[in-house]
């Protein structure tokens, strides 16, 4: 009787364990990545008409994909780290993909030349901003339209506490391949002090800005992507350019770092045809 009872208990335990394995989804860890650009929401046609996908080459060798934004009919804004070693690059405008599949309303243009900030150092964390001159002026449509930049009154603005949006064709997470289609995520802009706490091994200066990485974060391949907010007058405005993540990876829950555009308004105005606004 004792052997039969023990056998019955073991069978019951095994049945319960099996039920847990096949019938109950494990609880999500508090530190598990959730809703990232990297696996975040897919963009829809025309949702981000200023989105630019960049495919770079060194000679005839493909070197990578990154992102940028259309800031006028003639210029694309991106990160210097995106194009630092490129000898040529194609810009994809008005579409959701950066490949050879046909797509309605999309244009593919060979960048005429890149203008990198002269103080940028390869592998560095500062002055990570660049411009790309298009070979011709693009016509604006419902899928191709420039993004607005900050005005001079906003040079001292931190934008901390505001919701930022970032998109790209980068990786879904560390060690995962790039996205075939444009994805986007939203994250709160945090203070530079909070950013320094999140990234103690990096030097976060006044020309940087950061977003909280606990909910959404750009990843490798998203370099150059614009960080946008809905400004005080209700118009979407680009305030940053994605630069780098923590050395722990984009899915570590750490802050993401951007080049703060308000620190480079004069440089952008001097090297492009964009007129920097004085006010709203």
**Residue 203's pLDDT band (cuts 50, 70, 90):** very high
- Residue 127's contacts (CB-CB under 8 Å, 6 or more residues apart) are 80, 117, 119, 120, 121, 207, 259
pLDDT digits (tens, 9 = 90+) for 62-73: 988 999 999 999
Total structural domains within the chain: 2
Do 96 and 197 lie in a common domain? Answer: no
Percentages helix, strand, coil for the chain, rounded to the nearest 5? 15, 30, 55
Do 137 and 195 lie in a common domain? Answer: no
Concatenate the DSSP letters of all residues of 243-257 into one string.
Answer: EE--TT-TTSS--EE
Write out the residue range of the structural domain in which residue 243 sits: 147-263
What CATH number is attached to the domain comprising 208? 2.40.10.10
pLDDT digits (tens, 9 = 90+) for 82-139: 999 999 999 999 999 999 899 999 999 999 999 999 999 998 999 999 999 999 999 9
In a domain, 92, yes or no: yes
Least confident of 33-37, 94-98, 128-132, 239-243: 33-37
- Residue 262's contacts (CB-CB under 8 Å, 6 or more residues apart) are 150, 154, 155, 156, 157, 239
Contact 260, 254 (CB under 8 A): no
Do 253 and 173 lie in a common domain? Answer: yes
pLDDT at 214: 87
């Amino acid at each position: 009787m004792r052997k039969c009872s023990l056998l019955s208990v073991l069978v019951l335990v095994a049945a319960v364990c099996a039920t847990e394995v096949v019938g109950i989804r494990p609880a999500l860890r508090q530190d598990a990545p959730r809703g990232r650009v990297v696996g975040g929401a897919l963009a829809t046609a025309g949702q981000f008409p200023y989105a630019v996908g960049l495919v770079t080459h060194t000679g005839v060798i493909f070197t990578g994909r990154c992102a940028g934004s259309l800031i006028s009919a003639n210029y694309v804004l991106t990160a210097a780290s995106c194009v630092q070693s490129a000898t040529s690059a194609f810009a994809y405008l008005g579409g959701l993909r950066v490949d050879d599949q046909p797509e309605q309303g999309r244009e593919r243009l060979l960048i005429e030349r890149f203008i990198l900030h002269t103080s940028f150092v390869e592998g560095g964390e500062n002055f990570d901003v660049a411009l790309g001159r298009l070979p011709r002026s693009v016509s604006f449509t419902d899928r191709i339209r420039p993004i607005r930049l900050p005005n001079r009154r906003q040079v001292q603005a931190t934008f901390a506490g505001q919701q930022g949006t970032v998109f790209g064709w980068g990786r879904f997470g560390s060690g995962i391949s790039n996205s075939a289609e444009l994805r986007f995520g939203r994250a709160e802009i945090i203070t530079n002090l909070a950013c320094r706490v999140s990234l103690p091994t990096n030097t976060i200066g006044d020309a940087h800005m950061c977003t909280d990485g606990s909910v959404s974060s750009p990843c490798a391949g998203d370099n150059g992507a614009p960080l946008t907010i809905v400004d005080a007058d209700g118009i979407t405005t680009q305030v940053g350019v994605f630069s780098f993540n923590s050395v722990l990876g984009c899915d570590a829950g750490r802050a993401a770092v951007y080049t703060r555009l308000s620190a480079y308004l004069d440089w952008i105005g001097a090297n492009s045809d964009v007129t920097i606004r004085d006010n709203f």
